[in-house]
Structure 1
Amino acid sequence: MAAARQAFRIFLALSVLPIIAAKVSQLWVIFDNEKEIFQISEQQPADYVAVASLANTINETGWAKLDVTTHAGPNRKYNDSVQAYAAGFVEGHLTRSLMTMHWTNTGAWVCPEPMTAQCIQLKQFLQKNMDWMLDNINTFSFSSPFWHHVRLFLEQSAGLQDGYAKMPGKLNLNIDIMGVYSWQVGGDFETLLNLFPTSSSSSSDQKVKTPDPMAMGTGHCSALLRLLPDYSDLYVAQDTWSDFSSMLRMLKRYSFEMIKFPEDPSTPAPGNTMTFSSYPGALYSGDDFYTISSGLLTQETTISYSNSALSKYIQPTSVLEGIRTMVANRLAASGREWAQIFSLSNSGTYNNEWMVVDYKLFEPGSKEPIKGLFTLLEQIPGTIVFEDMTEYLYKNMYFGSYNTPYFPEIFNKSGQPALVAKFGDWFTYERTPRALIFKRDAPKVNDLTAMIKLMRYNNFKHDPLSQCNCTPPYSGENAIAARCDLNPASGTYPFSALGHRPHAATDMKVTTFDLFKSLSFQAQSGPTFDDLPAFQWSTSSYKDNSHVGHPDVWKFPVITFNGANPMQ
Structure 2
Amino acid sequence: MFGSGMSIMPRALSFCSLLLCTAGALAGIQYATLYWASEKTIKVKGALDRNGDAYGFYNDTIQSTGWGVLEIRAGYGTRVNKNNNIMFAAGYLEGYLTARHMYNHFANLYPQLINNASMQKPVEDFLWRQYQWTKKQITLNQDDPFWRHAGYVIAQLDGLHDGAAKWAKLHAQKPLSIINILFLNGVGDLLDLIPVLFPSVKTNWMFINRTAPGDYRWDVDHCSALIKVLPGFENVLFAHSSWYTYASTLRIYKHWDFNISDANTSTGKMSFSSYPGFLESLDDFYLLGSGLVMLQTTNSIFNKTLFEYMVPEALFTWQRVRIANMMADSGTTWALTFSRYNSGTYNSQYMILDWKKIKLEKSIDKGTLTIVEQVPTLVVYSDQTSILRKDYRADPYAKNNSCNTICCRGDLVPVSPSPFGCYDSKVADITLASQFTAFAINGPTVEDGLPAFRWSRFNETVHQGLPEVYNFSFVKMKPIL
- Normalising by structure 1, report the TM-score: 0.75
1:289–1:57 CA distance, 2 compared to 1 (3 A): same
Tell me, in whole angstroms, the C-alpha distance in 1 between the residues paired with 2:105 and 2:308. 33
1: CA distance, partners of 2:113 / 2:349: 26
Residue 465 of structure 1 corresponds to which residue in structure 2? 397
How far is the alpha carbon of 1:197 from its aligned partner?
2.9
Q: Tell me whether 1:524 sits opposite 2:406 in the alignment.
A: no
1:381 aligns with 2:381: no
1: CA distance, partners of 2:16 / 2:34: 25
Tell me which of 459, 462, 476 is aligned to 1:560. 476
Is the 1:475–1:487 contact (alpha carbons within 8 Å) kept by the matching residues of 2?
A: yes
Q: How does 1:248-397 map to 2 (within 5 A)?
A: 248-260=250-262, 267=263, 269-366=265-362, 368-389=363-384, 393=385
CA contact (8 A) 1:538 1:552 kept: yes
Question: Structure 1 residues 101 and 25, CA, compared in 2 at 3 Å: closer, same or farther?
Answer: same
Aligned with 1:225: secondary structure? Answer: strand
Matches of 1:523 and 1:125, distance apart in 2? 35
What amino acid sits opposite 1:149 in the alignment? H
Once the two structures are TM-superposed, the CA of residue 145 in structure 1 deviates from its matched residue by 1.6
More strand by share: 2
Cα separation, 2, equivalents of 1:91 and 1:365: 41
| Partner of residue 419, structure 2 | 502
* 1:8–1:165 contact (8 Å) kept in structure 2: no
CA positional deviation for 1:4:
8.2
Q: In 1, are the aligned partners of 2:392 and 2:404 still within 8 Å (CA)?
A: no
Change (3 A) 1:59 1:111: closer
**TM-score in terms of structure 2 length:** 0.88
Q: Of 14, 22, 30, which residue of structure 2 is paired with 1:25?
A: 30
Q: Give me the whole-angstrom Cα distance separating, in 2, the residues matched to 1:133 and 1:3.
A: 17
Counterpart CA distance in 2 for 1:213 and 1:276 is 36
Instruction: Give the % identical residues.
Output: 29
For residues 243-292 of structure 1, the C-alpha deviation after alignment (integer angstroms, 9 at most, x for no partner) is: 111111110011101133xxxxxx37222100000001101101011000
> Is the CA contact (8 Å cut-off) linking 1:72 and 1:258 kept in structure 2?
no
Q: Is the 8 A contact 2:335 2:381 kept in 1?
A: yes
Quick check: 1:53–1:67 contact (8 Å CA) kept in 2?
A: yes
Q: Please list the CA deviations of residues 86-143 of structure 1 after superposition, one character each: whole Å capped at 9, or x if unmatched.
A: 111111111111111112211256558x951x443333322332232122111112x1
Equivalent-residue separation in structure 2 for 1:214 and 1:477 (angstroms): 17
Q: 1:84 aligns with which of 78, 87, 90?
A: 87
Secondary structure at the aligned position of 2:294 is classed as strand
Q: Against the structure 1 CA distance between its residues 199 and 58, is the aligned structure 2 distance closer, same or farther, given a 3 Å change threshold?
A: closer
CA contact 1:284–1:326 (8 Å) conserved in 2: yes
Contact 2:106/2:184 (8 A) holds in 1 = no
Query: For residue 52 of structure 1, what is the aligned residue in structure 2?
Result: 56
- Provide the residue aligned with 1:15 in structure 2: 21
Q: How far, CA to CA, are the matches of 1:302 and 1:381 in structure 2?
A: 13
Q: For residue 535 of structure 1, what is the amino acid of its counterpart?
A: A
The 2-side partners of 1:253 and 1:180 are apart by 20
Q: Give, in angstroms, the shift of residue 326 of structure 1.
A: 0.6
Q: Give, as a single letter, the amino acid of the residue that structure 1 aligns with 2:196.
A: L
* Cα deviations by residue, 1:190-223 (Å, 9 ceiling, x for unpaired): 11111013679xxxxxxxxxxx985355521111
Letter of the 2:248 partner, please give it. S
- Asked whether 1:488 is paired with 2:420, we answer no
Aligned ranges 1:26-41 → 2 under 5 Å:
26-34=31-39, 36-41=40-45
Counterpart CA distance in 1 for 2:15 and 2:217 is 30
Structure 1: gaps spanning 5 or more residues? 169-174, 201-211, 261-266, 394-398, 401-434, 439-456, 468-473, 491-499
2:109 to 106, 110, 129: 106
Once the 2 structures are TM-superposed, how far is the Cα of residue 532 of structure 1 from its aligned partner?
Answer: 4.0
- Look up the SS of the partner of 1:557 in the other structure: coil
SS at match of 1:259: coil
Q: CA contact under 8 A between 1:522 and 1:559: conserved in structure 2?
A: yes
1:534 match: 451
Could you tell me how far 1:484 is from its partner in structure 2?
1.3
* Conserved 8 A contact 2:342-2:377: yes
Displacement of 1:29 in angstroms is 0.7
- Give the 5 Å matches for 1:191-202: 191-197=192-198
What runs of 5+ residues in structure 2 fail to find an aligned partner? 170-175, 202-213
Find the aligned partners of 2:409 and 2:128 in 1 and give their Cα distance: 37
Deviations along 1:475-530, whole A, 9 cap, x unmatched?
1101111111101136xxxxxxxxx3221211001110211111111111100000
| Aligned residue in 1 for 2:155 | 155
Superposed CA offset, 1:531-556 (max 9, x none): 2433332542x133111222222111
Q: Secondary structure at the match of 1:32?
A: strand
Question: Contact 1:21 / 1:59 at 8 angstroms: preserved in 2?
Answer: no
CA distance in 1, matches of 2:14, 2:84: 24
AA partner of residue 547 (structure 1):
H
Larger Rg: 1
CA contact under 8 A between 2:50 and 2:77: conserved in structure 1?
A: no
SS at match of 2:345: coil
- Cα 1:286/1:381, change in 2 over 3 Å: same
CA contact (8 A) 2:127 2:182 kept: no
* Contact 1:216 1:305 survives alignment (8 Å): no
Q: Which amino acid aligns with 1:31?
A: W
Structure 2 CA distance for partners of 1:11 and 1:252, relative to 1, 3 Å: farther
Deviations 1:289-323 (Å, cap 9, x if unpaired)?
10000000011000021111111222222100000
Contact 1:483–1:528 (Cα < 8 Å) also in 2: yes
* Deviation sequence 1:379-398 (CA, Å, 0-9, x none): 00011110123xxx4xxxxx
Cα distance change on mapping 1:231 and 1:44 into 2, 3 Å: closer
Letter in 1 for 2:447: D
- The answer for the alignment partner of 1:189 in structure 2 is 190
What letter matches 1:247 in structure 2? T
Aligned residues: 457
- The answer on whether the counterparts of 1:31 and 1:39 sit within 8 Å (CA) in structure 2 is yes
